[in-house]
Structure 1
Amino acid sequence: MQFTQIRNATLKINYGGKKILIDPWLAEKGALPGFGGTINEHIRNPTSELPMPIDEIIDVDAVILTHDHPDHWDDAAKKAIPKDMLIFTQHEKDAKAVKSAGFNNVQILNEVNDYEGITLIKTLGQHGRPKVVEDMKELLGEVSGIIFKHPNEKTFYIAGDTVWCTEVEQSLKKYHPDVVVLNSCDAQVIGNESIIMGKEDIYEVYKAAPNATIIASHMEAVNHATLTRKELGEFLRVKEMTQRVLVPHDGESYTF
Structure 2
Amino acid sequence: MQIQLVRHATLRVEYAGQTFLVDPMFSSKGELPAVPNTPNQRPNPGVELPISVEEVLAGVDAVLVTHTHFDHLDEAAIRLLPKHLPVFCQPPDREKLVQHGLEQVIAIEEAYTWQGIHLHRTGGQHGTGEIGQQMGQVSGFVLQRAGEQTLYVAGDTIWCEEVEQAIAEYRPDTIVVFAGAARFLTGDPITMTKEDIVHVANAVPDSRILVAHMETWNHCLLSRRELNECLQEKQLSGRVHVPQDGEIISFQ
**TM-score, normalising length from structure 2?**
0.97
Q: Who is 2:159 aligned against?
A: 164
Kept after mapping to 2: 8 A contact 1:233/1:247: yes
Unaligned runs of 5+ in 1: none
Equivalent position to 2:208, from 198, 213, 222:
213
1:47 aligns to what? 46
In the alignment, is the contact (CA less than 8 A) between 1:117 and 1:150 conserved in 2?
A: yes
Distance, in Å, in 1 between the alignment partners of 2:82 and 2:176 is: 27
User: What amino acid is aligned across from residue 150 of structure 1 in structure 2?
Assistant: R
* Equivalent residue letter for 1:109: I
Instruction: Give 4+ residue runs of structure 1 displaced > 3 Å after superposition.
Output: none
Q: Equivalent residue for 1:189?
A: 184
Answer yes or no: is 1:14 the counterpart of 2:14. Answer: yes
What's the TM-score, normalizing by structure 1? Answer: 0.95
The CA distance in 2 between the partners of 1:148 and 1:86, in whole Å, is 15
Aligned partner letter, 1:207: N
Aligned residue type for 2:243:
P
Say whether the 8 Å CA contact 2:155–2:178 is kept in structure 1. yes
**Offset of 1:192 from its aligned partner?**
5.1
The answer on 1:5 being equivalent to 2:5 is: yes
Matched, 1:99 2:94: no
Query: Which range moves more in the overlay, 125-134 or 189-198?
Result: 125-134
Identity of aligned residues (%): 41
Task: Supply the distance in 2 between the matched residues of 1:37 and 1:141 (Cα, whole angstroms).
Answer: 17
Q: Aligned letter for 1:116?
A: Q
- Counterpart Cα distance in 2 of 1:16 and 1:9: 21
User: What amino acid maps onto 2:37 in structure 1?
Assistant: G
For the residues of structure 2 that align with 1:69 and 1:43, how far apart are their CA atoms? 18
Kindly provide the CA deviation profile for residues 100-153 of structure 1, in whole angstroms up to 9, marking residues without a partner as x.
Answer: 11111111113111010001000000001234314xx2xx11000000101232
The 5 A counterparts of 1:137-152 are 137=134, 140-152=135-147
Residues 159-211 of structure 1: CA deviation (Å, up to 9, x unaligned): 00000000000001111000001101100111252000010000111111111
Q: Which runs of 5+ in 2 are unaligned?
A: none
8 Å contact kept, 1:16–1:152? no
Give the number of aligned pairs.
250
